[in-house]
Structure 1
């Protein structure tokens, strides 16, 4: 069959578009990774979890569902947010790479093959990719000749992708150029080694270009993320009980080799209040930081916006501001209970509207904003990237020197954020549970 290799590896029926050219007419192959290359995929929000819980979510061997990257619901939440269309597509897609994929597709009659290749598991994610690829991106359908999702039987994404590459290169023997876009340095290094070995083995001479894409990660609406994590805890515990009783597991493991045989309880630490933006509101701040970078010719880093109250500073720092009438009072556990509502469902629902008072350029070349809300009195600081104790001290020095501005800067966007405590988990060995 002409182009049979595309049928062999394709995982998404609607993504398969057989080239009009014969096999020998294919001279160039462009391969695009999905997560954080084409699409700004969600990762666990590090400000929501203890270090142990954050690490456990990323592990494939703690929860029965196989962890964050084996769970379609996390990606589906963000895909649904995008499909709603309430925010520009650039909040979800990397426009530069989408444009590159379009140029590759538009060059198909000149012998270019365009492939989407991702380590997402075919068994779990094929229906979601069917849904995702049906919708236009930046006003146009995003087309590929084939979409490769990871098949069962490959212990790592690297081994799967190398198997795909070898099969495609063996099939299209007239190819003289291959270009791969990927955000992971380790993957690119693996591709480089593969191509060096492959050229020696086959005595073929072709150009290969590996393009490192700067990853941009999205974070889910905090309430939805915690609600989904809470469901995974419950499902994991049901699977643990089922396995101990010799019954069939309902939720996993589908692709995981094993999981932690503990009953896990999701718990909250209400000692520290923080406010997080969902992906739509985050996009407003991202655009603001980008504009300020252009206006000042200063490259401000942007990762995860987080609002912290000035009154939550530790030790002597709090004492320095304890007489300052704009300092936020310490939040009590009871305050958190009111914000969260029913604590057993782990679905925060208190949305607070914020306004920006002033921008603060930190000594570390990072950017912060002084923000305020009529719903939450006091001075709060919006950090637009990970911050250190030195960054917080820089903010305090600034406010100590000039005071906290009370006036709202109406030229800057207003936005909403939700109050969130930090979550951790407690584990109890299943055989010790009555």
Structure 2
């Protein structure tokens, strides 16, 4: 029969603390750390494409283990370790669970355990510092060891936790109840099944020790999801990539893995509208009587320039990213009772603009199943009264998400914008150049001026009429639907709901949260990833799909830059945070 002693049990804990005697303990209280007690940051699903959210959390994707195995990510929580530790990471705790831990601390007959699947080697000191800053005391602080006390190897977090829980239950054989606080439904289910089997085994003659079955309660905790500041998060992922790339060819198991790189996915380029003006524009919508608002998706957030990355030639013509243009409502229309739109025109007659729609329009709202691109079919525009001829300002910007993919030697910036190379196509303007050489009519709508025929092809020398140039390409403090991020921001200001980034039974697909042991398949590199079908219509929305189907939330904003030089050309080898970070982030 195996021997279970307090001395043996202490070997699981990474803190040197005496455990209470066996007869004293009647209750076992087990607390998970990540997103149960502490709101550990998750990959931001607005910042990264869905496949990349999963890729970042897959241990096999990176030589250094990725998101959940890199202590720098946890250290970057809030405003960073140096600033957060003195104020005990205020705002980053699940205070209800904190209160329960404090009650456990006061309960004399309870053994209180902090249990996490994070690696002991990388995280023991950091987790203990975080917990100590909150003045929380545990009898045991247990992180996943490389090798267990009895030379066990744990291929998964769940196996590690079960082995430890078994040791605790068998050692404290007089304990009558055990409570486990866990936020992941998969682990909650696993623990419940485990304790059911454990109690059955205790009734058998072959039970490891003579003890009564234990009353087990596994409490499902609502996840406390949080995100890093986008600038910090991008820099930390770039640092992970730099570390991964530097380790390749060094004789380790990742020597045959590809070099990785951060790339951008641009869903559309447009004149982006501020939230305040969006709220004003949606008042132009008149829904049919009896139509529930749940059937309608309200947009009113941009005037389309191109439903794809915008070529430099066109971007220069519209003044570059960050250029501001003032517009006025000139008419409204409803298309097939499923698309509500407003026709607009620049306030100033000398304003040069571009839109791939026949006329510049704002898609105000869509009924379920409708596509924004169908707004181009609207023919009958109704004039608006003087008080509804709203005037509003826009900023040229892009709806962008980042993705992590294999670094491709010689790949240019334009090519890197597309996850699926087979669908990389020339811009219609480039097709028009070929059409001219063959005396064919041009394809696609053309740029124009107020008062001009907006479908008329300009003179070949009309480029001289356009303002802006390469000096306007910079994505400094220009626009975007959201304000640019300056520094790390205040505590809590950059934390989000997680919006599907973690998944866990919520149907989040690619964006599902990958725990420390949820990944079994090796990563597949190459051109796969978000935006697989470049022919899909762009999402003009910043919020979750709510049944409308989008290609990712994305930011209509100035993006945080990436450390390193040679972005987009296969030479991204600089240290994280070094040098001038490329535009577009």
Bin of the TM-score, shorter chain as denominator length: 0.5 to 0.7
The Cα RMSD (Å) is 4.0
> How many pairs were matched up?
315
- Higher helix residue share: 1
Pairing 1:204-215 to 2, within 5 Å after superposition: 204-215=212-223
Name 2:13's counterpart in structure 1: 10
Name 1:242's counterpart in structure 2: 250
How far apart, CA to CA, are the structure 1 residues paired with 2:171 and 2:541? Answer: 53
**How much does 1:263 deviate?**
1.4
Which residue of 321, 334, 353 corresponds with 2:362? Answer: 321
Pairing 1:32-431 to 2, within 5 Å after superposition: 32-78=31-77, 81=80, 84=83, 91-107=91-107, 109=108, 111-135=109-133, 137=134, 141-152=135-146, 153-203=153-203, 204-243=212-251, 261-269=257-265, 309-311=301-303, 319-321=360-362, 325-326=391-392, 328-331=394-397, 337-339=474-476, 386-388=544-546, 419-420=558-559
How far apart, CA to CA, are the structure 2 residues paired with 1:180 and 1:172? Answer: 16
How far apart, CA to CA, are the structure 1 residues paired with 2:139 and 2:94? Answer: 20
Give 3-state SS (helix, strand or coil) of 1:420's partner: coil
Name 1:363's counterpart in structure 2: none
How far apart, CA to CA, are the structure 2 residues paired with 1:61 and 1:28? Answer: 38
Larger Rg: 2
The alpha-carbon distance between structure 1 residues 79 and 222, as it changes in their structure 2 partners (threshold 3 A), is closer
The alpha-carbon distance between structure 1 residues 264 and 2, as it changes in their structure 2 partners (threshold 3 A), is closer
Structure 2 portions without partners, runs of 5+: 147-152, 204-211, 271-298, 308-338, 343-359, 364-388, 399-469, 479-483, 490-539, 551-555, 571-585
Give 3-state SS (helix, strand or coil) of 2:39's partner: coil
How far apart, CA to CA, are the structure 2 residues paired with 1:273 and 1:259? Answer: 39
Preserved contact between residue 176 and residue 215 of structure 2 (Cα < 8 Å): yes
Name 1:292's counterpart in structure 2: none
Report Cα offsets for 1:105-157 as digits up to 9, x if no partner.
Answer: 110x2x1110000011111111211321231x3xxx11110101011221111
The alpha-carbon distance between structure 1 residues 60 and 53, as it changes in their structure 2 partners (threshold 3 A), is same
Structure 1 portions without partners, runs of 5+: 244-248, 275-306, 342-347, 354-380, 393-416, 429-434
The alpha-carbon distance between structure 1 residues 386 and 351, as it changes in their structure 2 partners (threshold 3 A), is farther
**How much does 1:352 deviate?**
12
Give TM-score scaled by structure 1 length.
Answer: 0.63
**How much does 1:268 deviate?**
2.6
Preserved contact between residue 269 and residue 306 of structure 2 (Cα < 8 Å): no
